[in-house]
Structure 1
Amino acid sequence: MRIGITSPVVVRLPGTASPWEADAGAEELGLVARTADRLGFHHLTCSEHVAVPVGVARERGGSYWDPLATLGHLSALTSRIRLVTQVLVLGYHHPLQIAKRYGTLDRLSGGRVTLGLGVGSLEEEFELLGAEFTGRGARADDSLRALRAALSSRVPEYHGEYYAFEDFVVEPHAVQERVPLWIGGRTPRSLRRAITLGDGWVPFGLAPERLRGMLDAADVPDGFEIVLAPGRPLDPAAAPEAAATALTRLRDAGATVLSASVSARSAAHYCEQLEALHTLASDL
């Protein structure tokens, strides 16, 4: 099981984000990214919301850094760690927009992009952006097929139910022959979508026992990634046994990749926690 980092600062969820993140910026985020890269962590993440209604922000948070700008900045500060959108909302973008923007990032980063993608659930945001909310699942499936056809091709061609294109040059395009697509969701349908159209599944809000049962009931192919996250930030320095238990529980539930966060008092302390997490994980 490889361990990546749910990046601090870029998304601040109520009850999860640490107080220091409210005033942090590019310097603090860069310090964390360089430390995670040096230690060999698998990935950094950045999620997507364009605009969150005030009432919804009280529960989901209102601070969401733009993933393309953020991951582009972090790519210049790092050399090994993967850059993960966790997640982009498919319905907000034409597939060729994603292919061009993140294909460029893949070129700039030396082939380190993983696209975490989701169907989306915030109806008010869909309406604000002029995106179709009804039927978004079928549209997302078509978008995933179009993305697979386009991401690593200079002159992609695709003809689907919602998207169709040919005889257009998309340059730069991704340098990876197959950009990993991780699909978000928490339902059996989302798992089927991920197995059929993606390379990994990023579930949320499910108990490990429920996850294990869903995976046992599915025909999961070899090499397919199961990306899980602890329910709360880990404290590997002060509570190493609890952190180890959380990691082991997720591994036993089927995780091949973990997206972890750590509790911290500052960016410097966050980096110290990453050191402790790296040491702890190496002993599991």
Structure 2
Amino acid sequence: MVETGVQLPVQSQSTIYVEAWETAPGVGAAELARAAQAADRLGFGYVACCDHVAIPRRLAGPMGATWYDPVATLGYLAAVTTRTRLMSHVAVLPLRHPLLSAKQYATLDLLSGGRLLLGVGAGHVQEEFETLGVDFHRRGAILDETIQALDVALREEYPVHEGPLFPFSELAVSPRPVQQPRPPIWVGGSSPAAVRRAARLGEGWLSQGDTLESLPAQLELIRETRERAGREGAFAVNAIPPTVYVGEPGWDTGRRTLTGKPDRLAEALRAYPDLGVTHLQLRPRSRSLDEYLDQLEALATDVLPLL
């Protein structure tokens, strides 16, 4: 059975998907908390928060400049929710030393009672890397070692890692996460290198922009890579469908939005698990927080049971 989560509103304001109400003066923590609490109450599997440290002026138009810090945001939401998992989608790991990330995310897992889903990725904003002193052109290799270092740091209180970039040993990393042997790591990105990285180093893959037409080839690449690496066991595949609206909106939701009665939406969404997708990340269209909350409820009560 496919599991569903939601990308939270307000916390990231890319013009690709942000709604006008999210950018209104005064909108912030209270609206974000209400959205997360609704997802928690309605049984969504996770809520997701994005990550960027700084946006250059040349990209502030399409990307927006507002991106909440995922550790702070998910830590805040851990205190106002009870069961939904808390996902970083995705933490740009190469921007931070793996011991720093281990400390932050182990603490988040502890404070949330073991609800962290650690989504990670390589990043794509060159100025962000250069300003923070990280080699943008080596971000893939940096991410590979960071995941490996983070793996041992989250598993062991006195971790030892002998990689060339981040060697460390006999340094206590505490508090320890609740989830054992560590919280799951899902790797994001849809380039061949990112997909192979997810298959080799993660417990899941976070698709970025893949369509129903492109997913089969990606899933085959995952299968082949895991087989060559000798990896077995469960593997999560998270896809992002087009935005959705339950019912007839009566306003222009854009060409890529799935709209209509619950059975029509369920049929469209069912195509993803039919391919092998295990998790769907949903984002309803809305003109206000109240409409967003109404759409979450309609999805949970009228659409998802049909999946």
Please state which band the TM-score falls in when normalised by the shorter chain. Answer: over 0.9
C-alpha contact 2:102 2:150 (8 A) present in aligned 1: yes
Shift of 1:209: 1.8
- Which residue is 2:42 aligned to? 39
The structure 1 residue matched to 2:138, chosen from 135, 138, 142, is 135
1:106 equivalenced with 2:109 (yes/no)? yes
C-alpha contact 2:47 2:84 (8 A) present in aligned 1: yes
C-alpha contact 1:152 1:175 (8 A) present in aligned 2: no
Deviation by residue 1:5-49 (Cα, 9 ceiling, x = unmatched)? 000110112142111111221111111111110111011111111
Structure 1 alignment gaps of length 5 or more? none
Distance in 1 (CA, whole Å) between partners of 2:31 and 2:209 is 29
Shift of 1:242: 4.9
Shift of 1:120: 1.2
C-alpha contact 2:195 2:221 (8 A) present in aligned 1: no
What's the TM-score once normalised by structure 2's chain length? 0.88
Size of the aligned set, in residue pairs, is 283
Q: How does 1:96-175 map to 2 (within 5 A)?
A: 96-175=99-178
Which is further off, 204-213 or 256-265? 204-213
C-alpha contact 1:29 1:267 (8 A) present in aligned 2: no
- Which residue is 2:244 aligned to? 234
Which letter does structure 2 place at the counterpart of 1:3?
Answer: T
Distance in 2 (CA, whole Å) between partners of 1:72 and 1:214 is 33
Distance 1:218 1:106, change over 3 A: closer
SS at match of 2:144: helix
- Which residue is 1:249 aligned to? 271
- Which residue is 2:22 aligned to? 21
C-alpha contact 1:91 1:140 (8 A) present in aligned 2: yes
Distance in 2 (CA, whole Å) between partners of 1:69 and 1:160 is 29
Distance in 2 (CA, whole Å) between partners of 1:278 and 1:230 is 16
1:271 equivalenced with 2:272 (yes/no)? no
Q: How does 1:175-214 map to 2 (within 5 A)?
A: 175-177=178-180, 178-214=182-218
C-alpha contact 1:237 1:273 (8 A) present in aligned 2: no
Which letter does structure 2 place at the counterpart of 1:263?
Answer: R
Distance in 2 (CA, whole Å) between partners of 1:98 and 1:218 is 26
C-alpha contact 1:153 1:174 (8 A) present in aligned 2: no
- Which residue is 1:282 aligned to? 305
1:258 equivalenced with 2:268 (yes/no)? no
Structure 2 alignment gaps of length 5 or more? 227-231, 249-259
Q: How does 1:76-95 map to 2 (within 5 A)?
A: 76-95=79-98
- Which residue is 1:58 aligned to? 61
Which letter does structure 2 place at the counterpart of 1:267?
Answer: L
C-alpha contact 2:16 2:62 (8 A) present in aligned 1: no
Which letter does structure 2 place at the counterpart of 1:89?
Answer: V
- Which residue is 1:10 aligned to? 11
Deviation by residue 1:136-162 (Cα, 9 ceiling, x = unmatched)? 211111111101101132211111121
* Aligned residues: CA RMSD: 1.5
C-alpha contact 2:196 2:221 (8 A) present in aligned 1: no
- Which residue is 2:254 aligned to? none
Deviation by residue 1:179-199 (Cα, 9 ceiling, x = unmatched)? 111101112221111111101
- Counting aligned pairs with the same residue, the percent is 40
What's the TM-score once normalised by structure 1's chain length? 0.95
1:48 equivalenced with 2:71 (yes/no)? no
